[in-house]
């Protein structure tokens, strides 16, 4: 028999994370941050760091928790449930890159600082032609003497505002990409916030003649995409767990509302048209949850089907979250669009996370390739 | 968390030892058993050959292997019993059709187990669980489909018999049956549902007329009219008024009998379709790739939800909505799969011609079957009603 139960440690982690999110970042706080255009709270980040979350996947040797991917997924599911805004996914993703592709010196310098929450790192990969394949990267890193000089513009970069360091993917060769660790304060780096859907903030990162010493190169020259791919898969699976948590919460909010709200002399949950929406919401939420954990499990086993499982999960999660938020607005009517009620925060996430780390169409193309179609 | 079915080293030893036995036995007895992908094409001769095979399987207790021996099963654990299914699937073409869906007997066995008397269990269960008899479920009536409890068939007690009048439709399966399981009103004054009783009767009642319905796919269906048909009083399962309980315990699906309900054909269908598209170079088209990838994602979602159900069932945890959810998902998946195949293959998907049809006409059949499957066991809308009832009962919001 399959066994989908969490271990008792994972249950503890889940409860701790749920309590933390409710206590530290309730709806009123989310609303305040959104209203004031704040996407990062140092105070909140420090508290998350005190719980060891930025270093959850960093090995103990470098001051991290050395936890399993399933543990991390349990955490992300809870963060998604409460839509906790933080650069945690970006930072964990970059920590994994440093751990896997970096040299000892880079690990020793950066990983303990990341685990302590002292460094926030973001991945600057996508550009104007948004996409998550190597072909989409046009920024260049040109060798000049010992240095690699980066030129290009990164667009739709998440968490570049709160980060103090960027991992930049740049072309060092017609067919090869290289990853570079770029200090945000380095000369030629300019980070500009870009306003997006319903007040969401993304970042443009302009890189003009940014000179990097060889110590800033992360991993092998020209082989950056090979290093990035498995890490993107892990980050995508964790993002799916986050989406699954958010989706579940939208289900609970919508069902609860339909059971309380009375029209025509009865709770609207009695109407089958409304029930149809609630059923769709739950179907999408359950699909997101179990495909996410399946992907995590496959990654943990290093199974040959892991890439496919990740793409299945992201295609299901992105499409499902988007559609279930639409359905939640059908259930709610006017109150769903009233910002104080808070549903829109989930809807906003369903839009902004739809393409992040690969759209459903991107992942379906990958599935087709993996199925040898 | 573990998404794989794992066996303990002892279970592995037990299973592999048993596999040797099953293989040797099947090698000797399974010859000639099998079915076409489209059960409509099952010949009567082949049907009889399959019946003979199922009876031989039943003699060893392997037809209902997890049931206790005294009732005709083999008393095997689910882990060991699964070997029988694995081997049958590997050996017998379209094994799910060896056993036409209407003929399985699981629901009546479940009803007997739940409310039948000890005497009835000893009398009726062994022939069902040994695959000796075909038992049809007679539920739907012309005016009682989704609203089954409004059925009108009447069973009136007269001495040692019940006099049965009424019409059952969309019932049965291939060819013929040996016994029938049905509900009828025994107390017209009693409230809805409490007025019903369950019967298991012989299939050759005087006063019974059978006509056939031509269906779009799957097994043939019948309309059966009872006019003053006399049923021995001993055919009543449990006591009068237990009919609705009998129906529900039968439909719970907890009582696994026969070959059919074990199997999940969707996996094989998906693999066949993908393989066909690869070999026919259809899949170079990006639109086709997207259609196939979409259906593949849906398929994996359904697979995960079924695994979740397996896990929940194994822990005995409550499943307020999950059963209806996967049943609903499966029905919708059948339609979506047909659409994806149609989209990917164009008019070729509709060919039945033995010389030109892809996969010997299997795809044409799946399309018809997907549409037919909307209704059995309750329509999509009924599954939604069941699911929502469970969602509201869960009450975690």
**pLDDT in the model for residue B254:** 54
A194 touches B at CB < 8 Å: no
Q: Which residue has the higher pLDDT, B278 or A314?
A: A314
**pLDDT in the model for residue B256:** 59
**pLDDT in the model for residue B253:** 58
B294 touches A at CB < 8 Å: yes
CB proximity under 8 Å: A 271-310 to B: 272, 275-276, 278-279, 282-283, 286-287, 290-291, 293-294, 296-298, 309
Give the HSE-up count for residue A183: Cα atoms under 13 Å, Cβ half-sphere: 9
A266 touches B at CB < 8 Å: no
B388 touches A at CB < 8 Å: yes
Q: Which residue has the higher pLDDT, B4 or A279?
A: A279
Contacts of B6 in chain A (CB under 8 A): 1
Sign of the C-alpha dihedral, residues B109, B110, B115, B118?
positive
Q: Tell me the pLDDT tens digit for each residue of B281-310.
A: 887 889 999 999 999 999 999 999 999 998
User: Are A1 and B311 an interchain contact pair (Cβ–Cβ within 8 Å)?
Assistant: yes
| Residue A200 banded pLDDT, cuts 50, 70, 90 | confident
Rounded distance, CA A48 to CA A44, Å? 6
Give the residue among A279, A325, A129, A254 at the shortest CA–CA distance from B326.
A279
| Residue B280 banded pLDDT, cuts 50, 70, 90 | confident
User: Are A278 and B388 an interchain contact pair (Cβ–Cβ within 8 Å)?
Assistant: yes
- What share of chain A has pLDDT > 90, as a percent? 97
Mean pLDDT of B228-256: 86
| Residue B266 banded pLDDT, cuts 50, 70, 90 | confident
Q: CB of B142 within 8 A of CB of B84?
A: no
B274 touches A at CB < 8 Å: yes
Question: What angle, 0 to 180 degrees and rounded to 10, lies between the N-to-C axes of helices B266-279 and B286-315?
Answer: 160
Mean pLDDT of A299-316: 97
| Residue B103 banded pLDDT, cuts 50, 70, 90 | low
Rounded distance, CA B91 to CA B85, Å? 10
Quick one: how far is CA B218 from the chain centroid?
12
**pLDDT in the model for residue A79:** 98
A-chain residue closest to B290, CA distance = A364
Residue A257 has pLDDT above 60, yes or no: yes
CB-based contacts of B245, cutoff 8 Å, min separation 6: B114, B115, B238
Over chain A, what is the mean pLDDT? 97
Least confident range of A148-152, A169-173, A322-326, B393-397: B393-397
B-chain residue closest to A278, CA distance = B388
User: Are B290 and A368 an interchain contact pair (Cβ–Cβ within 8 Å)?
Assistant: yes
B-chain residue closest to A295, CA distance = B3
Q: Tell me the pLDDT tens digit for each residue of A134-166.
A: 999 999 999 999 999 999 999 999 999 999 999
Quick one: how far is CA A349 from the chain centroid?
11
Mean pLDDT of B34-47: 89
- Is the pTM higher than 0.90? The answer reads yes
Rounded distance, CA B338 to CA B363, Å? 8
Rounded distance, CA B383 to CA B387, Å? 6
Rounded distance, CA A364 to CA B176, Å? 47
B396 in helix, strand or coil?
A: coil
């Amino acid at each position: 028999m399959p066994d989908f139960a969490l271990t008792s440690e994972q249950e503890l982690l889940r409860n701790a994370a749920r309590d933390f999110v409710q206590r530290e970042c309730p709806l009123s706080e989310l609303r305040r941050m959104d209203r004031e255009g704040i996407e990062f709270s140092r105070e909140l980040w420090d508290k998350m760091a005190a719980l060891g979350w930025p270093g959850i996947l960093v090995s103990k040797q470098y001051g991290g928790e050395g936890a399993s991917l399933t543990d991390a997924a349990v955490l992300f599911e809870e963060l998604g449930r409460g839509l906790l805004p933080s650069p945690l996914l970006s930072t964990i993703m970059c920590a994994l890159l440093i751990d896997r592709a970096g040299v000892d010196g880079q690990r020793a310098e950066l990983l303990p600082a990341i685990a302590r929450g002292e460094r926030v790192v973001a991945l600057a990969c996508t550009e104007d032609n948004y996409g998550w394949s190597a072909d989409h990267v046009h920024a260049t890193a040109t060798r000049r003497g010992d240095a690699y000089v980066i030129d290009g513009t990164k667009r739709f970069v998440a968490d570049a505002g709160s980060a103090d360091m960027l991992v930049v993917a740049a072309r060092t060769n017609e067919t090869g990409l290289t990853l570079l660790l770029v200090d945000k304060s380095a000369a030629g780096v300019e980070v500009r916030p870009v306003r997006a859907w319903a007040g969401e903030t993304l970042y443009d990162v302009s890189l003009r003649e940014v000179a990097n010493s060889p110590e800033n190169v992360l991993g092998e020259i020209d082989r950056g995409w090979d290093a990035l791919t498995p890490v993107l898969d892990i980050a995508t699976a964790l993002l799916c767990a986050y989406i699954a948590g958010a989706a579940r919460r939208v289900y609970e909010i919508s069902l609860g509302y339909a059971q309380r709200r009375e029209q025509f002399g009865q709770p609207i949950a009695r109407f089958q048209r409304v029930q149809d929406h609630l059923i769709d919401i739950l179907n999408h939420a359950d699909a997101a949850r179990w495909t996410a954990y399946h992907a995590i499990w496959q990654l943990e086993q290093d199974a040959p089907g892991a890439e496919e499982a990740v793409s299945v999960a992201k295609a299901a999660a992105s499409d499902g979250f988007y559609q279930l938020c639409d359905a939640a607005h059908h259930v709610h009517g006017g109150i769903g669009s009233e910002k104080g009620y808070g549903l829109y925060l989930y809807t906003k996430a369903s839009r902004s996370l739809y393409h992040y780390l690969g759209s459903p169409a991107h992942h379906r193309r990958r599935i087709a390739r993996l199925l040898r179609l | 968390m573990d998404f794989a079915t794992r066996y303990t080293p002892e279970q592995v030893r037990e299973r592999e030892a048993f596999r040797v036995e099953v293989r040797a036995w099947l090698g000797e007895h399974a010859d000639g058993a099998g079915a076409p992908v489209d059960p409509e094409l099952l010949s009567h001769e082949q049907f009889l050959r399959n019946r003979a095979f199922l009876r031989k399987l039943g003699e060893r207790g392997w037809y209902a292997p997890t049931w206790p021996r005294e009732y005709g099963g083999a008393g095997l654990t689910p882990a060991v019993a699964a070997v029988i299914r694995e081997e049958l699937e590997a050996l017998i073409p379209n094994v799910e059709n060896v056993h036409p869906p209407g003929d399985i007997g699981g629901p009546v066995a479940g009803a007997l187990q739940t409310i039948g008397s000890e005497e009835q269990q000893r009398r009726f269960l062994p022939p069902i669980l040994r695959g000796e008899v075909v038992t049809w479920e007679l539920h739907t009536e012309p005016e009682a489909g989704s609203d089954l409890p409004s059925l009108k068939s009447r069973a009136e007690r007269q001495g040692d018999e019940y006099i049965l009048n009424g019409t059952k439709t969309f019932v049965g399966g291939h060819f013929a049956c040996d016994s029938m399981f049905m509900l009828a009103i025994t107390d017209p004054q009693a409230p809805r549902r409490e007025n019903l009783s369950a019967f298991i009767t012989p299939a050759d009642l005087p006063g019974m007329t059978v006509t056939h319905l031509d269906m779009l796919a799957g097994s043939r269906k019948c309309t059966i009219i009872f006019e003053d048909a006399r049923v021995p009083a001993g055919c009543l399962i449990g006591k009068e008024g237990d009919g609705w309980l009998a129906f529900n315990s039968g439909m719970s699906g907890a009582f696994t009998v026969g070959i059919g309900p074990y199997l999940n054909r969707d996996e094989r269908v998906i693999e066949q379709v993908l393989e066909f598209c690869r070999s026919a170079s259809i899949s170079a088209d990006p639109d086709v790739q997207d259609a196939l990838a979409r259906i593949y994602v849906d398929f994996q979602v359904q697979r995960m939800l079924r695994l979740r159900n397996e896990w929940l069932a194994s822990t005995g945890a409550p499943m307020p909505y999950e059963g209806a959810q996967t049943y609903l998902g499966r029905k919708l998946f059948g339609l979506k799969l047909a659409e994806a195949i149609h989209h990917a293959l164009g008019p070729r998907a509709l060919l039945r011609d033995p010389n030109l049809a892809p996969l010997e006409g299997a795809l044409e059949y799946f399309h018809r079957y997907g549409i037919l499957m909307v209704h059995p066991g309750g329509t999509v809308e009924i599954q939604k009603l069941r699911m929502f009832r469970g969602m509201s009962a869960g009450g975690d919001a």
